[in-house]
Amino acid sequence: MTTPPVINLSTKVWDCRLGRQQLDALFTVASQGFQPAEVEVSHTRHNHTYTAGTLGDLIAAVTAAPLPSPIDKWDNLRFTATDPTGRRSVEMALARKEVSVEVKGSDATMVYGTETQIRLFLQDEAVGGHPAGTTLPLPRLWVWMGALCVLVMLYLTVSLTVMYGGGEVGAMVESALFLSLGPLVVVLLLALFSMVLHMFIYARSTRALLVPTRDLPTGSAWSRLGAIEKITAVGVGVAAVAAIGTLLSAGADVF
C-alpha cells in the first residue's frame, strides 16, 4: 500500500487583535477533531516554558508562578495539536505583530480545511489580520488630509511672500487675504486637526494586540480605546482648537 504524501501548508498573518475571547474561539477552530490529550498550549517567560491543555489552565499556571513581570504582558503564545496517526497536525506561534500557522498531514481534506478555517478567522474584520507582506490600502480620509495640508501650506506661502516681499502694498494685500480667506483657512485647519485626531484614534484602535488575560473592547473605534487614550485624544482636540483660536486672534491683532 502506498503511503500518502504529507501536505504542509504555512500561513503568516500580521496585525491581529487577539484577546481572551478571540483566542478561545481561534483555539476551538484549530482543535476541531482532536482529542483533548492531543492539544497543548504553551507560553515562554523568563526562560521557562509553561504548558497546559487549555488556555485557561495556562493562564492559571502563569498567574500562580512567582514572576516579576506583569501578568497582562504576553509576547508569545504557542498552540499545538497532533494526531498520532499523522493525518493532521496544527502548530501556531502567536506574537503581538504576527501569527504563524503550520498545518500538515496526510489527509488532504482535513489539512486544507483546517488551514482555510484558521486563515479566514485571523483575517476576519473582528480580528483585523492581513496576509504577511501585504500593505493595507491608505484610508481615504488620510488622502483628504494630505490635500488639506497642501492647501494650508500654499496659503501660508503666498501670504508670507506677499507680506515680506511687497512692502506696504504687500501688507495691505495680506490684510485683504486674511479678511477674505481667513475663515476658510480656519475651517481647513479645523478639518486638518480633526483628521489628525481621527488618524490617532484609528491607529490606536486597530493596533495589533495579544492579550490572553482579558477580553478586548468591541464596537466603534472610540469604544476600543483605553481610558488613557481617550483622555489623550480629548486633550489633543482641545489643544488644537485653542491653537487655532490663538492664531486667529494674533492675525486679527496684526491686520
- C-alpha to C-alpha distances, 241 to 26, 27, 189, 244, nearest whole angstrom: 44, 47, 9, 5
Measured distance CA(220)–CA(204) in Å, rounded: 12
Measured distance CA(232)–CA(236) in Å, rounded: 6
Measured distance CA(96)–CA(38) in Å, rounded: 25
Measured distance CA(87)–CA(48) in Å, rounded: 31
Give burial (CB, 10 Å; 0-12/13-18/19+) of 220: exposed
pLDDT in tens, 196-248: 777 777 777 778 999 999 988 877 777 777 777 777 777 777 776 676 666 55
If you average pLDDT over residues 152-170, what whole number do you get?
Answer: 57
Check residue 58 and report its DSSP letter.
H
Letter for the amino acid at 35?
A: Q
Letter for the amino acid at 129?
A: G
Strands (E), 141-251: 209-210
- Say what percent of the chain tops pLDDT 70: 71
pLDDT in tens, 88-99: 999 999 999 999
Letter for the amino acid at 61?
A: A
Longest dimension (CA), the chain: 98
Q: 99 with 107: CB under 8 angstroms?
A: no
This prediction's pTM: 0.75
Q: Quick one: pLDDT at residue 163? A: 52
Instruction: Tally Cβ neighbours within 10 Å of residue 32.
Output: 13
